[in-house]
Chain A
Amino acid sequence: MSRLDIVIAGVGGQGVLLASEIISNVALAAGYDVKKSEIHGMAQRGGSVFSFVRIAEKVYSPIIPAGGADFLLAFEELEALRYAPYLKPQARIIVNTQKISPITVLSGAASYPEDPVEMLKEHFTVYPVDAVSLAKEAGNAKAVNTVIVGMFSVFAGFERRLWKETMKRLLPPKILDVNLKAFELGVSAGERNEA
């Protein structure tokens, strides 16, 4: 791997920031230079949340330029569309098949696109996953982020051991087991896609 640029996007409260924290720490443990950049503040109140993770021998800009990212991990379908301009033409997208209507849609000012996953498939390699169901299967609907991280780990190519060690280090003991399980379910989902 010479460099890996990842955009992680979702809705406030979905755990985007923890996912990017895990991925960046794994890359650091694997000996790479890493920059992880995100904007918080007003975004937290149910707004769109995103994080850039850049991994390489040497990383300069923390911002991924337009058309530059290799991967998009989208926690929600509309957010997958929103961050598509950051992607390279041959980029891959993992998208949680969940639709959360923003206030603009709820109040009738705009309408939610019919089928975002199909729209994305016209341009990119897309791996849809029902991460909410897998997270519930693992024991907590909130573990959507670790399902997606697990799925991504299949494509990222870092040693399996590093993911588990990093999660043990970063997650509170109370929620560790559920998240490790969610991660495993994500890995299996990823392996099914890769095959």
Chain B
Amino acid sequence: MKVLLSGNEAVARGAWEAGVKFASSYPGTPSTEILENLVRYPEIYAEWAPNEKVALEAVIGASLSGKRAIASMKHVGLNVAADPFMTFSYTGVNGGVVIAVADDPGLYSSQNEQDTRNYVRAALIPALEPSDSQEALDFTRMAYEISETYDTPVLIRLVTRISHTKTVVETGERTEKEKEPEINPEKWVMLPAYARKRHPLVIERFKRLTLFSESLEINRMEIKDTSIGFITSGVVYQYVKEAFPEASVLKLGMIYPLPQKLIREFVEKVKTVYVVEELDPFLETEIKAAGIPVIGKEVFPRTGEFNPDVIRKSIDRNYRPQTVSFPGIPERPPTLCPGCPHRGVFVALRKAKIRALGDIGCYTLGAIPPLSALHSCICMGAGVSMEHGATTCGMERVVAVIGDSTFFHTGVSSLMNIAYNRSPSTVLILDNRTTAMTGKQPHPGTGETAKGEKTKPVMPEEVAKAFGIERIRVVDPYNVEEFIRVLEEEVSEKEPSVIISRRPCTLITKRPDTVYRVDKELCIGCKRCLSVGCIALKMEDGKAEIDPLLCFGCGICAVECPKDAIVEGKR
């Protein structure tokens, strides 16, 4: 049957068809929906792990036990999972393993634009890159065969545009696959003595995979006009086909290792050959290192997402499509929702003039004007570790701000460092009872699993207590004045402290009946309330006004009003 599937849905479907029994992941745009779709198949055990390292290690365990398994994550998630990733290359698999990793060229929803392909080169792990959803499904199935035949994990490299594009797919049936557990210390115990013997095998496997890639049908030449040709892979292939329909193309389905003979053959047939790829010159470097003359990043950009125009313009500098545009129209950036509990925290921090070292989540939006109350964001958990470094070096009036899901992801070990090394740090855990940013996924604190089953919730305050932190406060972020008081007490304290801001995300809260309104008699039109960055607030004829349909009744804006003009009302 023909259906429309996104790249993420297709990877999940491919894994299901290949007989996968175990799936583990941590949510992150653009890869989240892979696990969300795997959850729907009753034959698959699918879970959210606290982080990507745990997810991949669980998958390795499933493989050792004889089951086919899949780990999925976004590009920066592989940084977290890089430790097991590198050594998993040495052990190889028992049950086949696919690691699906989605890059984000153009940074639609990420803190950097790193290129996952560099990891497969470092680990000598083979990688496939689909150019649409049909390939995402087919390549995932094929990856399990490669994985078990060559005794290696296989990486499926996705990008946002593949993960979140629906294309027509012909689906197949599921085949069950299972093995006995593998107990073989020389293969699985990576002691120096054993690992030393595995490393040459990895290199030998790499050579066999290179040979295999030469005859693999997903690496294919489309010879047309031989004056111009492109070597490409993934979604960029689609852009090339649209921009230069008459050109010759060498489409690589397997992007590592590369079929050097096939590439040489293509370059001999075609006069001018371009290597087109988003982000790093990965294919290009491999091809040039083999002494094959091609043109790459000399003409194509190294940053951002491509499209057919980027390719046209790179080759023909004079290419200008005819367009109509309206320069200077206002931006529409994302903002914290009306009623977002995080807003209370940021308004309190701003009023108290306390700096905040942040993390990854909706609350990163606290950095954007008009809130402008967050002062760093590096990666998951970094805010808490940075707080320790900063306060140990004597920085004052600075706190860490981390969400609940992010806290369980990697904030836990950072907090342990604060507790263990006793820095005068204050850590704010914004506990909104969900993983809001990526769409309400459960996490260890919510008491619910990915499959919707009840489980024991982990409470952040108990974690802090177990680490030996004595100063732990739980505060409602809607109560900004109380929040400021607690902040003042804790930042002046030399002991490590934790403030838990507890209130659920509006996505999981019933809309309240009370909303706020502006008393026009009292309002002097000073616009101070607008600085909380709530889209329910606007100026109308020189006075503030609150849209009762958008207002969530948090009352946080009222704190900013010097005239107490913002008052409770009914919807």
Give the interface of A toward B (CB within 8 A): 11-12, 24-25, 28, 33-48, 59-63, 65-68, 78-79, 81-82, 84-87, 89, 101-113, 119, 123-124
Contacts and interface: CB of A to CB of B under 8 A. Distances in A.
A95 to B, nearest CB: 13
Interface string B206-250: 000000000000000000000000000001001101100000000
Given A42-B108, A84-B324, A102 B333 contact: yes
B4 A34 contact: yes
A61 B276 CA distance: 14
Contact of B161 (A11, A40, A62): A62
Contacts of A123: 324
Given A37-B161, A67-B321, 11 more contacts: A39-B164, A42-B29, A61-B239, A61-B307, A101-B535, A103-B332, A107-B530, A107-B533, A108-B539, A110-B330, A113-B326
Contacts of B323: 66-67, 84-87
A65 B308 contact: yes
Given A42-B109, A108-B527, A25 B4 contact: yes
Contacts of A35: 132, 165-167
B530 to A, nearest CB: 5
Nearest to B162: A62
B35 interface: no
A6 to B, nearest CB: 14
Nearest to A81: B326
B278 to A, nearest CB: 12
A43 B334 contact: yes
B362 interface: yes
Contact of A78 (B4, B132, B330, B333): B330
Given A38-B164, A42-B109, A104-B332, A61 B242 contact: yes
B321 A65 contact: yes
Contacts of A63: 161, 239, 307-308
Chain B interface mostly: loop
A10 to B, nearest CB: 10
Contacts of A78: 329-330, 332
B30 interface: yes
A60 B30 CA distance: 21
Interface residues of B, number: 53
12 contacts: A12-B334, A25-B4, A36-B167, A41-B30, A41-B108, A45-B362, A62-B238, A65-B321, A84-B325, A103-B535, A104-B330, A107-B370
Contact of B166 (A24, A39, A42): A24
B70 interface: no
A36 B539 CA distance: 38
Interface in B166-204: 166-168
A108 to B, nearest CB: 6
A84 B136 CA distance: 32
Nearest to A25: B4
Nearest to B536: A106
A65 B306 CA distance: 10
A41 B109 contact: yes
B160 interface: yes
A177 B67 CA distance: 46
Nearest to B329: A81
B512 to A, nearest CB: 18
Contacts of B531: 107
B108 to A, nearest CB: 5
B200 to A, nearest CB: 43
A108 B337 CA distance: 19
A36 B335 contact: no
Greatest chain A CB density within 10 A among B238, B325, B437, B539 is at B325
A11 B337 CA distance: 13
Contacts of B109: 39-42
B461 interface: no
A13 B73 CA distance: 26
3 shortest interchain CB distances as A-B pairs: A41-B109, A45-B334, A110-B330
Contact of A103 (B238, B309, B362, B533): B533
Contact of B331 (A42, A104, A119): A104
